[in-house]
């Protein structure tokens, strides 16, 4: 028992120091009027494995907290939109989503072939360069108070289509890595598509009724109901090889009316706490010693795909009737890569060891540059 008590005390001290450190970084970011995300990432890099002063923070606790942070970021982003708005944006943004796929998958795929990787490894690198970080972008939009901007719905449609593409892409990759047959691939993709279609239908058709059913004057009841629903739906989505993040986003879409405002007010502080943990843990997972050999390739790839994302956002915003300035803001905000890219790299590192370090360097560059450029896009 004394040993367990000592371990628990050490855990509390470690986590407390980390959170106080993050608070100091957030204060500095606020003082200079910039996003805190790059500060969190660099702190994780400094105190992670291979960093200047590695910390032995409980990995299990930090990982769970960081995953909850992503879910809450997407849930609160979903609260900003109704089911009808989502349906309308998806229809209007389908063309932009396909342009996004072509422009941003191709550079990674071609780079993999030029590096003489296998065809499968090149496809994985294409996935890394394709998808933007919904978590980082949601955080940036909230920090910069741009959720109500005219270009935000067009960006949202691009992000949702990316997550829907991932709902098909990830099951295929997982089955192929396990040596599965074409019938297993077809089965996994079918389950993912049915799960996404069902969730979209419920969110759009029955969102108002569900909100009325769970609404209550008690903050405690709304907090527990909303948070529990986010975790439950995200867990079920992940179980079906669909993105847990898109499950959380659809819960936010389904909640509307007064309950949406109440849930946003209650869960925003939790979102900020766990989101900071996510970005810090993300930085901790990257070993700086593995970055230098792949840095030149990562920089070239980051420059090319930053340009293609700017084109994507600009095109999407212009199609939605926004002006040139709004289009540029949309493109610069979409630059950030993050959680999905790391997940894809983690899946493929067994078949191509260089995929991990290259993806980490690439994501770190754009995860830091994205929020900074989005801030400057006024």
Residue pLDDT tens, the chain, 378 long: 566 677 778 778 877 888 898 999 989 887 876 677 778 878 888 887 766 666 666 666 677 777 888 788 778 877 876 667 667 767 777 888 899 999 999 999 999 999 999 988 999 999 999 999 877 887 788 778 887 788 888 888 888 888 778 777 877 777 777 666 677 777 777 877 787 777 778 777 777 777 887 788 888 998 898 899 889 988 888 787 666 777 787 788 788 777 888 888 888 888 888 888 877 887 777 778 888 889 999 999 999 999 999 999 999 998 888 888 889 999 999 998 876 787 787 777 778 888 888 988 898 889 888 888 888 776
Q: What is the pTM of this model?
A: 0.75
Spatial distance between the Cα atoms of 300 and 250, rounded to a whole number of angstroms: 35
Alpha-carbon 365 to chain mean position: 15
Spatial distance between the Cα atoms of 203 and 200, rounded to a whole number of angstroms: 5
Alpha-carbon 215 to chain mean position: 28
At the second CATH level, the architecture of 67-277+289-376 is Up-down Bundle (1.20)
- Look at the alpha carbons of 81, 83, 89, 94 in this order and tell me if their dihedral is positive or negative: positive
DSSP summary character for residue 35 = -
Spatial distance between the Cα atoms of 258 and 253, rounded to a whole number of angstroms: 13
DSSP summary character for residue 217 = S
- Look at the alpha carbons of 356, 25, 274, 54 in this order and tell me if their dihedral is positive or negative: positive
Residue spans of beta strands (DSSP E) within the chain: none
């Amino acid at each position: 028992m004394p040993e367990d008590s000592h371990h628990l005390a050490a855990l509390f001290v470690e986590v407390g120091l980390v959170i106080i450190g993050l608070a100091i970084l957030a204060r500095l970011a606020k003082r200079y009027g910039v996003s805190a995300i790059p500060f969190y990432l660099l702190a994780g890099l400094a105190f992670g494995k291979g960093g200047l002063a590695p910390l032995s923070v409980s990995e299990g606790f930090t990982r769970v907290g960081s995953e909850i942070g992503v879910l809450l970021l997407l849930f609160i982003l979903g609260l900003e939109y109704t089911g009808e708005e989502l349906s309308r944006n998806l229809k209007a943004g389908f063309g932009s989503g396909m342009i996004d796929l072509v422009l941003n998958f191709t550079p990674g795929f071609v780079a993999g072939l030029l590096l003489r990787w296998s065809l499968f490894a090149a496809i994985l690198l294409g996935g890394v360069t394709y998808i933007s970080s919904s978590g980082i972008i949601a955080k940036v939009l909230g920090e910069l108070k741009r959720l109500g901007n005219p270009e935000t719905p067009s960006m949202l449609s691009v992000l949702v289509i990316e997550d829907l593409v991932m709902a098909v892409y990830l099951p295929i990759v997982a089955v192929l890595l396990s040596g599965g047959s074409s019938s297993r691939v077809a089965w996994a993709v079918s389950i993912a598509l049915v799960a996404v279609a069902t969730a979209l239908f419920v969110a759009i058709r029955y969102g108002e009724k569900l909100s009325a059913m769970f609404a209550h004057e008690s903050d405690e009841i709304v907090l527990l109901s909303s948070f529990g629903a986010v975790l439950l739906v995200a867990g079920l989505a992940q179980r079906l090889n669909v993105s847990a993040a898109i499950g959380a986003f659809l819960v936010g879409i389904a909640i509307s009316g007064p309950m949406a405002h109440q849930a946003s007010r209650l869960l925003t502080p939790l979102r900020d706490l766990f989101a900071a943990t996510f970005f810090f843990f993300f930085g901790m997972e990257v070993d700086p010693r593995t970055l230098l050999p792949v840095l030149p390739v990562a920089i070239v790839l980051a420059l090319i795909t930053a340009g293609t994302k700017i084109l994507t956002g600009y095109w999407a915003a212009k199609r939605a009737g926004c002006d040139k300035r709004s289009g540029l803001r949309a493109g610069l905000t979409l630059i950030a890569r993050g959680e999905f890219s790391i997940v894809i790299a983690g899946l493929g590192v067994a078949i191509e060891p260089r995929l991990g370090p290259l993806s980490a360097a690439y994501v770190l560059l754009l995860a830091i540059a994205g929020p900074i450029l989005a801030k400057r896009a006024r």
